[in-house]
Amino acid sequence: MAQMMYREAVVSTIAEEMERDPNVVMLGEDIVGGMGTAGGPEAIGGIWSTSVGLFDKFGKERMIDTPISESAIIGAASGLALAGKRPIAELMFADFIGVCLDQIWNQMAKFRYMFGGKTRCPAVLRLVYGAGYNAAAQHSQSVHQILTGMPGLKVVMPSSPADVKGLLRTAIRDDDPVVFLEHKALYGMKGDVPDDPNFTIPFGHARLTRAGEDVTIVSSGLLLGFCEAVADKLAQEGIGCDVIDLRTTSPLDEEAILDSIEVTGRLVVVDEAPPRCGLAADICALAAAKAFSSLKAPPQAVTPPHTPIPFARELESAYLPSTDKIEAAVRKVLGWR
């Protein structure tokens, strides 16, 4: 096992896949050079340092620095994929998928169906998402609920450096478009990463990170760590929590969620996206439809309120799910009747 940070797992996986397959290319704003440099190809790796050194290894034909035009980046990735390449397109802020929706929703997601299965679209869209940096409403959003609702896309939300390695490798080798969402607050997270060059994690397989028989907690991305902290605290009181890391929201591992609810009878879903028509509501509905007879209490969703993300530090903190809010939800389902 190697120890590396979440962002280092991103860089090393891209480098390994580019070495393995000459058709893998990367494109995006400032992936060569980047903010704070002299403007040359020194490759600090963009504002998140997730392409450090790749220009030096693979050159300008495979590391394509683009203008500030998200729609052009996604459109170019779409064309490259149809032409036989395996593009990795980076949007430094996921919020800007708004100008790319036609390319993503009406084109990439539907190519396999539009052309009767005679073509492939092996593109990976790496999007940086999430709040907590006082970056205001247009640079902090969690957009997975929009993308998960689009048939034809696979949506991935890694929560650890090891999952970055296994899931990103799977994404790059997939023949369909994959949205790979990286939470900006996780880039400095350090953890063990398998050395096996063939280590991959299949999509649609959730991970049980804590085991207990009283409450099922479902989450992904940054908030998974919040859920684990609550589970560890409650374990000291003899309260056992199953904590499920979804890993992918499409496909969704329904079986892992339902099997856990069958044992615990109680469900808390924790998500950073807004509550209306969101992932948390979707999973609560899943429990009501397919595990109703097992439920001992109404499922609870811990999400931000239905409002744009505040800029002020205090308001942003109040907006986001917290360990206190998760613990309160767990105690609520435990205390039902």
Selected catalytic residue, list 139, 144, 183, 306? 139
Phi first, then psi: what are they for 214, rounded to 5°? -105, -40
Query: Distance between the two ends of the chain, CA-based, in angstroms?
Result: 47
| Cis preceding-peptide flag for 308 (omega within 30 of 0) | no
What is the bridge-based pairing of β-strands 124-129 and 63-65? unpaired
Cβ contact 193:1 at 8 Å: yes
Q: In what order do the strands lie in the sheet containing 215-219?
A: 207-210, 241-245, 215-219, 267-270, 300-302
Residue 236 DSSP code: T
DSSP letters spanning 168-207: HHHHHH-SS-EEEEEEGGGTT-EEEE---TT----TT--E
Spatial distance between the Cα atoms of 100 and 94, rounded to a whole number of angstroms? 10
Partners of 63 in beta bridges: 26
**What is d(CA 218, CA 206) in angstroms, rounded to the nearest whole number?**
10
Give the span between the Cα atoms of 79 and 191, in whole angstroms: 36
Beta carbons within 8 Å of 331's beta carbon, 6+ residues apart = none
205 given a catalytic annotation: no
Tokens 């609702």: give the residue: 149
Residue 208 to residue 268: CA distance in whole angstroms: 15
Burial 234-255 (b: 16+ CB within 10 A, else e): beeeebbbbbbbbbbbbebbee
CA distance linking residue 240 with residue 265, whole number of Å: 12
Catalytic positions, written as ranges: 139
